[in-house]
Amino acid sequence: DIQMTQSPSTLSASVGDRVIITCRASQSINTWLAWYQQKPGKAPKLLIHKASSLQSGVPSRFSGSGSGTEFTLTISSLQPDDFATYYCQQYNSWSLFTFGPGTKVDIK
Amino acid sequence: EVQLVESGGGLVQPGGSLRLSCAASGFTFSNSWMSWVRQAPGKGLEWVANIKQDGNEKYYGDSVKGRFTISRDNAKNSLYLQMNSLRAEDTAVYYCAPYLGSWGQGTLVTVSS
């Protein structure tokens, strides 16, 4: 099975900060990686798919990179609406999807 | 606008059964792989199951294999999850999701005596 890890688990930041979240896969998943944002009591929202493709309607301050086993989500200038929990997800095979444990971005 | 509305959640005793439904609109349902994903209270996301567009391929997470069945009715633009032999650890909000698309708001399943 493919395991996903994320770091850090919690990140304290201020508005305007550049934020980087890392996601690692236990084996290569090429670029079959998505990033989701979730706010309390809400459904997750897709931000990025195929490691670096920005979902329609998502602000350009969000970007993704990586391939193989190491990936990053970058928020170039953190906005008040961005305080949330972020999850990576691998979808390398239809027979097994896996989510990372999440990274909570809170206010410093 | 893509819309997914889950229903069928509720309180059920351990060992019981429940059938979740997801009504889809705003996209071509029959062209999309579909998934169920769940989230236990205060926990992260857990993939539950996938189903191919024509329903002929189905895959399950290890924690639900043999107990849950995913199905779909393309004529009704609907996705289902039959959950049997429910356990306390199945307590979660269950979301339906199209491949790389918007998710529904979820339906809460509580397994407790």
Query: Tens of pLDDT along A20-62?
Result: 999 999 999 999 999 999 999 999 999 999 999 999 999 999 9
Whole-number Å distance between alpha carbons of A16 and A76: 8
* pLDDT, mean of residues A71-87: 97
| Residue A22 pLDDT | 98
Q: Does B2 touch chain A (CB under 8 A)?
A: no
Q: Using an 8 Å Cβ cutoff, are B12 and B77 in contact?
A: no
Query: Which helix (H) or strand (E) covers residue A85, if one does?
Result: strand A85-93
A81 contact B CB<8A? no
A-B interface: how many C-beta pairs under 8 angstroms?
49
> Residue type for B101, please?
G
CB contact under 8 A, B50 and A98: no
Q: How far is B44 from chain A (nearest CA, A)?
A: 6
* Candidate from B47, B57, B59 with C-beta closest to A98: B47
- Cis omega before residue A59 (within 30°)? no
pLDDT 10s digits, B15-66: 999 999 999 999 999 999 999 999 999 999 999 999 999 999 999 999 999 9
CB contact under 8 A, B102 and A87: no
Query: Of B59, B100, B106, which has the smallest distance from its Cβ to A49's Cβ?
Result: B100
Place B106 in a pLDDT band, splitting at 50, 70 and 90.
Answer: very high
N-term to C-term CA, chain A: 36
Region at A69 (left for phi over 0; alpha for psi -120 to 50; beta for the rest): alpha
**Burial, A20: exposed, middle or buried (Cβ in 10 Å; 0-12, 13-18, 19+)?**
middle
CB nearest A99 (choices: B46, B57, B103): B46
Rg (C-alpha) for chain B, rounded Å, is: 13
Task: Note whether B48 and B36 are within 8 A (CB).
Answer: yes
Grade residue A91 by pLDDT with cuts at 50, 70 and 90. Answer: very high
Q: What is the pLDDT of residue A26?
A: 97
